[in-house]
């Protein structure tokens, strides 16, 4: 029965940590194997699952239990499809987070984990994600340390917008989202730029100075 697919994944993981679930995991895997070879499940696994669910429902909602009992196969299919689709989306989001530091991938404005992108785009919980500024590049060799409410940081961003027209970009390092940056990078003031080999510029920089620094750190 199709719910074995879900059970095999869940029980397979759980049984790594607990011997108690290994017998159930074996039954679930056997059921999956039988299904994959177009044969009926010959363990009690499907029946146990169905009975466990229906048994819990029948005490309080007998009519609903009856519906679940009769439509269990269809409900199982729906649940299984939802499970695997969710699993795929979760996997995709984890991949994006690892590669792009953002759940929605390159150019995505999702706001779940990355506070610096969130603040820059005024993205708060429930908002529609907005694209980050064009001068943001997580792979850029120069890091730009800034914080909210820092006037000189805001003024520096206008410079960065101009520079972005010539293809310049910086790696944004939002201190409010990551206070550990202060200690890790020994940040004394904002804005601060740190290039390759630890070279740094502290405080607001005119466009020509910043451009030269970015050129030197290409």
Number of C-beta neighbours around residue 155 at 10 A: 12
* CB of residue 17 to another protein, shortest distance in Å: 24
* CB of residue 72 to another protein, shortest distance in Å: 11
1 versus 54: smaller Cβ distance to another protein = 54
63 versus 183: smaller Cβ distance to another protein = 63
11 versus 110: smaller Cβ distance to another protein = 11
* CB of residue 45 to another protein, shortest distance in Å: 12
59 versus 125: smaller Cβ distance to another protein = 59
List interacting residues with another protein (CB under 8 A): 44, 47-48, 50-52, 54-56, 58-59, 62-63, 65-66, 69-70
47 versus 155: smaller Cβ distance to another protein = 47
* CB of residue 44 to another protein, shortest distance in Å: 7
| In the block, residue with structure tokens 């229906």 | 54
* CB of residue 50 to another protein, shortest distance in Å: 7
62 versus 179: smaller Cβ distance to another protein = 62
Assigned token pair, 122 = 């005024």
β-pairing, 143-146 with 171-174? Answer: parallel
Q: Contact at 8 Å (CB) between 194 and 205?
A: no
* CB of residue 28 to another protein, shortest distance in Å: 17
Q: How far apart are the first and last CA of the chain?
A: 58
């Amino acid at each position: 029965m199709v719910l074995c697919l879900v059970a095999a994944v869940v029980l397979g993981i759980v049984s790594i940590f607990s011997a108690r679930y290994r017998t159930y995991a074996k039954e679930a895997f056997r059921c999956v194997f039988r299904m994959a070879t177009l044969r009926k499940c010959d363990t009690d696994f499907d029946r146990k699952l169905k009975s466990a669910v229906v048994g819990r429902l029948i005490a309080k909602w007998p009519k609903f239990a009856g519906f679940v009992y009769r439509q269990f196969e269809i409900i199982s299919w729906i649940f299984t499809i939802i499970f695997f689709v969710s699993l795929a989306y979760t996997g995709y989001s984890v991949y994006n987070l690892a590669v792009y530091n953002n759940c929605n991938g390159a150019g995505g404005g999702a706001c779940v984990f990355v506070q610096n992108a969130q603040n820059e785009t005024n993205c708060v919980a429930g908002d529609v994600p907005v694209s980050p500024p064009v001068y943001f590049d997580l792979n850029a060799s120069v890091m730009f340390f800034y914080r909210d409410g820092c006037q000189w940081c805001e003024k520096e961003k206008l410079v960065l917008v101009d520079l972005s027209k010539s293809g310049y970009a910086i790696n944004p390092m939002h201190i409010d989202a990551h206070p550990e940056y202060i200690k890790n990078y020994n940040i004394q003031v904002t804005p601060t730029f740190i290039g390759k080999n630890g070279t740094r510029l502290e405080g607001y920089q005119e466009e020509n100075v910043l451009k030269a620094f970015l050129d030197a750190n290409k």
